[in-house]
Chains A and B, each alone.
Chain A
Amino acid sequence: MSSKTNEKIKRPHVIFFQRKVLSIPYVLFLILFIIVPILIIVLYAFTDENMNLSFDAMVSFFTTPSKLNVLWVSLFVALQTTLICLVIGYPLAYFLADKKINKNAVLITLFIAPMWINFVLRTWATRDLLSWMNISGGNYPYLATLIGMVQNYLPFVILPLYTTFLKLDKSQIEAAADLGANRRQVFTKSVLPQSVPGVVSACMMTFMPTMSSYVISDVFSEGKITLFGNFINLEFNNKLWNDGSFMALIMLIIIGISMFLTRNNSKENARGANL
């Protein structure tokens, strides 16, 4: 009898210990291959090749016009891609979620399905089509890049917007209509404000990946447009670890700021994780 009570006292500790221990490999992996690499680029960003403290990378970034230009061009391309995606994707998601227009729930998955086809393959396909239409990096590098970006990131805009529209408060919309609001007023006063979280996450899903993208701008502009991603890749090819680390750090800071600004917005839509 006494041994049994002994066991009962011991058990909670055993269970607690056992289950917590399971996380050790995961935690070690996070530390070794996610946290430490970030610390190392911080270290490299502020040192030179001989590991001495140096602000050369920072000074060169802020004083070289071509480097700063990469930042502005990336922001501009990302902004334009996001806006075009929203203009196309917002009404699309609205129509898809409207039961009076679309009763077929499978249709939305067709819009998401391209994400599962290898993205370099899709990029190649779009480029082939564009060069058939005589739009290529040779004659219209900017237009070709923009079309490529929109083609690639449109599904990432449609999905969060669609889930937001599905969750719209129907009774509020009906109440607005009952109380005498016309169609436009219902939209601007009820639908639009309710869809803001979806718009924010759609922007997040497009803006950052566009800025840091490498393959799309490289393939569509044939190397004529250099975005943040292309530049970091260039530093990688030239083994300029210090300059590259500083660029990566800037990218990381921009991502961090945007995450902080949108922290109240749900992150469940990240990279289509919920499908």
Chain B
Amino acid sequence: MKKSFPWRKVLGQSYIWLVLLLMYLPVLLLVIYSFSTSTLIGGRYIFSFDLYTKLFANSSIMIALGNTVLLALISALVSTFLGTLGAIGVFYAKSKFKKAINFATQINIVNAEIVIAFSLTVMFVFLGTYVFKDDIFGFWTLLIGHVALSVPFVYISVRPKLQQMDPALYEAAIDLGATPRQALSKITIPEIAPGIFSGFLLAITLSLDDFIITSFTRGAGLLSGESEIETLSTFIQAAIKKKNVPPEMRALTTFIFVLVIVVVVAVSVYRSQQAKAKKIRKGRD
């Protein structure tokens, strides 16, 4: 029997690669034009590293970048701390309480960012008008906004790890003379560490990506000093509006693009290898 031409396979694969190309085309163009001095995408291409030297000399981009990273780290740490302890505490609480908190946690996961941002802002305005009698927008309101966005995600990443954990481990530690605090730090936390870690990473990416909450809840502070806190998102958005995004932003895009691709591919290769190793181990048993 003659094997027919694998139409399905060829069609499927070309479709996959076509969509992939279209998805990456805008960013790839920026990457290509990051090695050019041309002010416009599609302009005359002259190879140079100019934009890379300009990037590090552009203080407003560097400040925005610094603010973005600082805010992401601080808000992710706070979210991870609150969310992890919350998940542990709620997990061992009564079921009625548990249900109420699980519901409240879902609110910001499904809620639109603009509603989260607006409702927090209205509250801060309310507090500023009636309680503090002053404008309270600053680093703290921004931090609260970012934590409000990411803390539920930490909670839901930790919760399944607690469900998977063997409850006897904690009891055993207590029976063997550990104080509850020791049992928590030596048994529970290491057992749920993967959940805490993925919650932390998720919190970082949510904060890095955020625009709306930042633009609503920010005030003066961080590296911006006396002026409004500028993050990469707000900086680029304002530049797009003024139609003068500095071309050196292309160089920064290249750095971010390479970093994201390397990390994402490395993690997924590592995971698929782990899965394979697991299969082999299972096969031996």
Contact = CB atoms under 8 A, between A and B. Distances in A.
Instruction: Verify that A and B bind, or say they do not.
Output: yes
Nearest to A244: B118
B283 interface: no
Counting chain B CB atoms within 10 Å of each CB, the highest count among A96, A105, A124, A232 belongs to A124
A38 B107 contact: yes
Contacts of B157: 273
A244 B12 CA distance: 47
A166 interface: no
Contact of A229 (B42, B93, B212): B212
Nearest to B19: A92
Given A113-B260, A245-B122, A26 B115 contact: no
Nearest to B130: A51
A52 interface: no
Interface string A1-41: 00000000001001110111111111101110111111011
A21 B89 contact: yes
A110 B19 CA distance: 11
Nearest to B181: A18
B269 to A, nearest CB: 6
Given A117-B253, A208-B110, A270-B109, 11 more contacts: A15-B174, A29-B147, A109-B268, A118-B232, A120-B232, A132-B42, A155-B23, A219-B237, A233-B212, A236-B118, A252-B115
Interface of A: 11, 14-16, 18-27, 29-31, 33-38, 40-41, 44, 88, 91-92, 95-96, 98, 100-102, 105-107, 109-129, 132, 151, 154-155, 208-209, 211-212, 214-215, 219, 228-229, 232-233, 235-236, 239, 241, 244-245, 248, 251-252, 255, 259, 267, 270-271, 273
25 contacts: A22-B88, A23-B89, A23-B101, A25-B86, A26-B89, A29-B86, A31-B104, A41-B119, A101-B9, A106-B272, A112-B264, A113-B264, A115-B209, A116-B209, A118-B256, A125-B29, A125-B253, A214-B114, A232-B115, A232-B118, A244-B122, A248-B118, A252-B115, A259-B106, A271-B206
